Structure 1
Amino acid sequence: MSDHQPAPPTRSGGPHSGTAAVAAVADHGDGSAAVGTTRRRRLARLIVLAAAVAGLAVIGLRGRLPAPRDVLDALTGAGYGWILLAALLQAASIGAFAHQQRRLLHSLGVHLRRGRAFAIILAGTALSISLPAGPALSTAFTIRQYERAGATREVAAASAIVSGLASIGGLALLYVGGGVAIVAGSPTALLNWRPLAVVVGLAALTAAVVLAGRRYSRRPPAGGSGRSGGRARRYMRTVLTSARKGWRAGAGLRTVDWAAALAYATVKWLADLLCLIAVARGLDLPVGVAALAGIYLSVQIVRQVPLTPGGVGVVETALVAGLTAAGATGIGAAAAVLLYRLLSCWLIIPVGGLAALMLRRDPRA
């Protein structure tokens, strides 16, 4: 399950996070006073957040894992060629997301360097998976970084919105592909029509939103003063106006740009799925590829319930339960989940923190 969301767009960000981010960015300044103190505070917060995430993982998995020594023995016996492949696949997943953002911004008239795009995605993903309400905060952070790189607020918000829709579409394509594979292997699977109905519904909803947005983008902007009404009303008007402008910018993209965003999103999800499969192969789990894909896609539904930042504890428990139900031993399942989450989630937090520090440099330097 991919945790790279700028969310949108973090890897798991949704289409609604762009609007919240526009409002969040509107209230943040770039204050220059006490820079050294601010950096120390941010570093301290990063350390505290990392400790909190580790604590949540321990709490969520207590009593559900075998003895640590047994898990360590399983890890030491892993096929490290497969584990290296898993790490490369996870890097490819992040890379697909970064390239998607660069392509979207380029289509909207903004040039973003490759290294800075990777740094923004890593830092935004670290925020998304380590904080309560992480996806919204991650998107706000991402939008502000795009603004620093030369994008207008509307263009930055448009990138977040389009990325979120493409992420949903990419995941839906994986569900469709998995469904077709299952039906091809067992035609009686058509009798279980509910998962297919969910996929069709998601795809139809995404297509309807895109088509409606493209039609809406041709209408002239609504008038009206932004100074009337109370503070809350003015705030909501600012949010809606910014979101409308961002949506207009995104809906004006060419069809080929939407197709490219969808393709990159699909590669992002697929690489993350293949990372889990490579880890399972490295530990020689007796679980087939189809079963692993089914477990992965099922966990994507579970992780949408924001019980903990990044699904820590919840995702691990669901994966261990799915793998053991599919025939893996408790020790093997625990080792596979620990390795997979280490590559796809936990390592991103410190790396993303370092990337955030790098982003403090002038993007034009």
Structure 2
Amino acid sequence: MRLLVVAVVVGLAAIGLRGRLPAPQGVLNALANADYGLILLAALLQFASIGAFALQQRRLLQTMGVHLRHGQAFAIILASTALSITMPAGPAVATAFTIRKYQHAGATREVAAATAIVSGLASIGGLALLYVGGGGVIVARNPTAFLNWQPLVVVTGLAALTTAAVLLGRRYSRRPACERGSGRHGITGRRATYWLRTVLNSARDAWRAGAELRVRDWAAALAFAAAKWLTDLMCLTVVVRALDQSIGVTTLAGIYLSVQIVRQVPLTPGGIGVIETALAAGLTAAGASGISAAAAVLIYRLLSCWLIIPAGSIAALVDRRT
């Protein structure tokens, strides 16, 4: 099965990238002439992106009464990110792994699941906050730019949905228990019905635990999520600059948002082949040469994806020994 999965992933990547990559020698020359000082800076920014995510998780767990060391939080996030990249249905597998690790650290099932739920909402909200804030600055400088800033429509909708989910959850969590109903009485019948009700009850308890967070805790989670997205975007920007391509930050932000939307479609583990194709097409359309676009995609994906796989494996082993 593993060989079959690898073969399918490689085949899809080859189909997606067929005819889009320039001659390998040209790409190697571009890589050789890159500014490796900037590439080192891009690597540090990617490290900071993962670190911001780990700090967010640690802060959420501390708010709910679970202490997690900095190194342990970073190791768990690094390992779960590697799982998310490499496994079919990676985000679900990574979430289950993270919840189990948090339970080993002393969190209840509801608290661990609540951390995952709040983190997911904060991730959407942080991305929306980043683009709404950047778009607001652009529109303030040039009001006509709003007509060409189509991604703002998408992120504004995401921000509205996230805010509505948080407000409804907080309102629901304040209702008396007798109004909410335990949902645990009269569980009879088939095993599937029992399993479904158990899952719904667990999800309800997890959401109530997360919705009861204070406003400042939500604000901190959003701030860490925005920092995670911002440093990842800056990593891509620095990589493009390292290859001497003068694409504007606004244009790169639009390409980056498009790639984040594309990667939500789980066609391949970690979006392998799909993200590379989307990034190369976006950079080429923005004015980069085919050789420079291919080199930028290789470096960025090396830093944000492929190097994380062995690093996450090592982090998982170290965390298990600890």
Contact 2:187 2:194 in 1 (8 A): yes
Tell me how far apart the structure 1 counterparts of residues 151 and 45 of structure 2 sit (CA, whole Å): 27
Q: CA deviation at 1:304?
A: 1.7
The answer as to 2:293 corresponding to 1:337 is no
Q: Which residue of 2 aligns with 1:289?
A: 249
Pair 1:130-2:75 in alignment: no
From the superposition, tell whether residues 55 and 76 of structure 1 become closer, same or farther in structure 2 (CA, over 3 Å): farther
SS of 1:343's equivalent in the other structure is: helix
Aligned to 1:319: 279
Counterpart position of 1:241: 201
1:160 aligns with 2:160: no
Shift of 1:194: 5.2
Structure 2: gaps (5+ residues): none
Between 1:160-169 and 1:113-122, the stretch displaced more is 113-122
Asked if structure 1 preserves the Cα contact closer than 8 Å seen for 2:170 and 2:211, the reply is yes
Q: How does 1:1-365 map to 2 (within 5 A)?
A: 56-192=12-148, 195-219=151-175, 220=177, 222-223=181-182, 224-225=184-185, 227-361=187-321
Report Cα offsets for 1:86-137 as digits up to 9, x if no partner: 0000000000000000000000000011111111101111111112211111
Conserved? CA contact 1:49–1:130, under 8 Å: no
Report if aligned partners of 2:121, 2:162 keep a CA contact under 8 Å in 1: yes
Match of residue 25 from structure 1:
none
Q: Tell me the TM-score normalised to structure 1 length.
A: 0.82
In structure 2, C-alpha distance between the alignment counterparts of 1:52 and 1:105, rounded to whole Å:
38
Q: How far, CA to CA, are the matches of 1:88 and 1:346 in structure 2?
A: 15
State the SS of the aligned residue for 2:260.
helix
Whole-Å separation in 1 of the counterparts to 2:258 and 2:41:
23
Partners in 1 of 2:186 and 2:268 — Cα distance? 37
In 1, Cα distance between equivalents of 2:312 and 2:116 = 19
Q: Quote the Cα distance in structure 2 between the aligned partners of 1:347 and 1:50.
A: 17
Q: In the alignment, which residue of structure 2 is the partner of 1:26?
A: none
Residues 79/55 of structure 1: CA separation in 2 closer, same or farther (3 Å cut): farther
Conserved? CA contact 2:151–2:254, under 8 Å: no
Query: How far apart are residue 193 of structure 1 and its match?
Result: 7.3
Greater Cα offset, 58-67 or 259-268: 58-67
Distance 1:354 1:226, change over 3 A: farther
Task: State which drifts further: 113-122 or 272-281.
Answer: 113-122
Asked if 1 retains the 8 angstrom alpha-carbon contact of 2:79 and 2:312, the reply is: yes
In structure 2, the CA distance between the partners of 1:51 and 1:349, relative to structure 1 (3 Å rule), is farther
CA-CA distance at 1:62 after TM superposition? 2.6
- Asked if structure 2 preserves the Cα contact closer than 8 Å seen for 1:226 and 1:234, the reply is no
**Greater alpha carbon shift after TM alignment, 297-306 vs 267-276:** 297-306
Aligned counterparts of 2:9 and 2:46: Cα–Cα separation in 1 = 20
Distance in structure 2 (CA, Å) of the matches to 1:48 and 1:105: 38
Structure 2 distance, partners of 1:226, 1:339, is 57
**1:305-332 Cα distance to aligned partner (Å, 9 max, x none):** 2211111111111111111111110000
Q: Which runs of 5+ in 1 are unaligned?
A: 1-43
Cα 1:226–1:290 shift into 2, 3 Å: same
Task: Flag the 1:101–1:49 CA change in 2: closer, same or farther, 3 A.
Answer: farther
State the AA in 2 paired with 1:168.
I
- Secondary structure at 1:359's aligned position in 2? helix
Q: Residues of 1 paired with 2:35 and 2:48: CA distance?
A: 20
Q: How much does 1:156 deviate?
A: 0.1
Aligned-pair distance for 1:284? 0.5
**8 A contact 1:128–1:138 mirrored in 2:** yes
* TM-score (norm. length: structure 2): 0.93
Counterparts of 2:84 and 2:197, CA distance in 1: 26
* Matches of 2:308 and 2:11, distance apart in 1: 17
Offset of residue 59 of structure 1? 4.2
Q: Is the 8 A contact 1:50 1:130 kept in 2?
A: no
Q: Among the aligned pairs, what percent are the same residue?
A: 73
Once the two structures are superposed, residues 279-313 of structure 1 have per-residue CA deviations (whole angstroms, 9 ceiling, x without a partner) of 01111013122211221112212222221111111
Alignment RMSD (CA, Å)? 2.1
Misfit runs of 4+, over 6 Å: 47-52
Q: Which residue of 2 aligns with 1:10?
A: none
Number of matched pairs: 318
Give me the whole-angstrom Cα distance separating, in 2, the residues matched to 1:296 and 1:159: 26
CA offsets per residue over residues 29-63 of structure 1, 9 Å max, x none? xxxxxxxxxxxxxxx96x99778756654443232
